[in-house]
Amino acid sequence: MTTLGGLGHALPYLITDFWTATLSAFAVVFVEVWAIVWIQNRYMNTPFFRAAFQIVLGGALVFAVGVVIGSGRPQHAVAPNPVARYEFNMLAIFLKTLPFFALIGLGYWAGRTRFFTTEATAYLTKFVFYFALSAMLFHFAANLSLADVWDSRLVAAYLWGTAFVYGIATIIGFLRNLDVANNAMEAQCAVIGNTGFLGVPMLTLLLGPDAIGPVVLVLAVDLIVFSSLIVILITGSRDGQMSLRVLRTIGMGLLKNPMIVAMTLGFVWSGLRIPIPTPMNDFLVILGGAATPGALFAIGASLASKSAEKLQVAGWLTFCKLVLHPAFVAMAALWFFKVDPYKAGVIIAAASLPVAGNVYMLAQHYNVGPARVSAAILVSTALSIFTVSAIIAWVTTF
């Protein structure tokens, strides 16, 4: 078994192109990790959470050691080639992302041990969602110009890549004889990443403050286009027709979403060219500063209540979100729409984020596949420790 696994992710490097080989190896490793967790859970009676933790932690240590060894060279060696530079960069990014995922892990521990109850997690999530994250987004938007942030090519590229993966997930769902509501929920898992709670704080720190513009556009597309689409599909399939009630529900949902309100008010403030008073600026900085640790801790604590059912479906949806989604967004941004390399890297990194927690809220609200959504969030978040680091390391070479 070990020999087959080693050959599986080593053989792709017979491919002459490094990036093709590396992406192929990542796909193989993804399947191998998922297979090991499933075998331990199914045949060795290992609880799923323990098996996943062991595999993820062990894989992270092996990954880090391998990159350290691969990036080392004697003093007399020639200048490092692009592969060696990428390996060194991957280690640096991995170490930078580790604190973010450590905060998620801390929240998960607090939730699993009941040190942080489900009720406490709900209130923390509300604080982050309605106050801390909204303050951060308003502060960012108020210091930006909408004309500078808006990029038609970027929006088109992200929409194209996301819609393509949405379509793939939908076709596979129909082939599995899913109804419209369940199909829409799975497609939502395949393309909606945790941009608000994880992407905004992490990508702006790792890729620089200029990343906030593309991240805000990605967040806006997810909230306005795809969050509206799933409401239309589920409500329309249940009612048998479109009605003004559906449009009213969508409109009120957008108006009540604090992230949309915060971004809109921020851009309005910026457009009016009103300087932010110092006390107000300090207030926003202090409150917004709580968004990063609060959001990451809340993600982990909420994962503790997620179940690991429907693992085969969760594996497929995780593959769509962590592999297919960034791949198709990269294809659209780099080749079809020729987006600025830096901005392209930001939206590719945003597309690589794990399944968003708000998809589970939708699944619970409409009672559509909450078990499979829960498992997809859990599995994708655990495996994103590797995939997000690798993709961010790649996009920083642009």
Q: How many CA atoms are closer than 13 Å to the CA of 159, on its beta-carbon side?
A: 14
Question: In the prediction, which pLDDT does 380 show?
Answer: 93
With beta carbons less than 8 A apart as the criterion, state whether 300 and 107 touch. yes
Question: In the prediction, which pLDDT does 34 show?
Answer: 59
pTM for the whole structure: 0.75
User: Could you read off the pLDDT of 77-135 as tens digits, one per residue?
Assistant: 444 555 555 555 677 888 888 899 899 999 999 999 999 999 999 999 999 989 999 99
Question: In the prediction, which pLDDT does 76 show?
Answer: 47
With beta carbons less than 8 A apart as the criterion, state whether 100 and 354 touch. no
Could you tell me the two tokens for 310? 């429907």
User: Could you read off the pLDDT of 128-168 as tens digits, one per residue?
Assistant: 989 999 999 999 889 888 777 889 999 999 999 999 999 99
Distance CA(56)–CA(381), nearest Å, equals 11
With beta carbons less than 8 A apart as the criterion, state whether 361 and 303 touch. no
Q: Write the DSSP string, 64-93.
A: HHHHHHHH---TTSPPP-HHHHHHHHHHHH
Residue-range domains of the chain with CATH: 117-395 (1.20.1530.20)
Question: In the prediction, which pLDDT does 322 show?
Answer: 95
Element housing 282 (H / E): helix 278-289
With beta carbons less than 8 A apart as the criterion, state whether 361 and 34 touch. no
pLDDT cut 70: percent of the chain above it: 77
Question: In the prediction, which pLDDT does 238 show?
Answer: 72
Strand partners, 193: 355
Compute the 3-state secondary structure of the chain and give helix, strand, coil in percent, each to the nearest 5: 80, 0, 15
Low-confidence ranges of the chain (pLDDT < 50): 71, 73-79
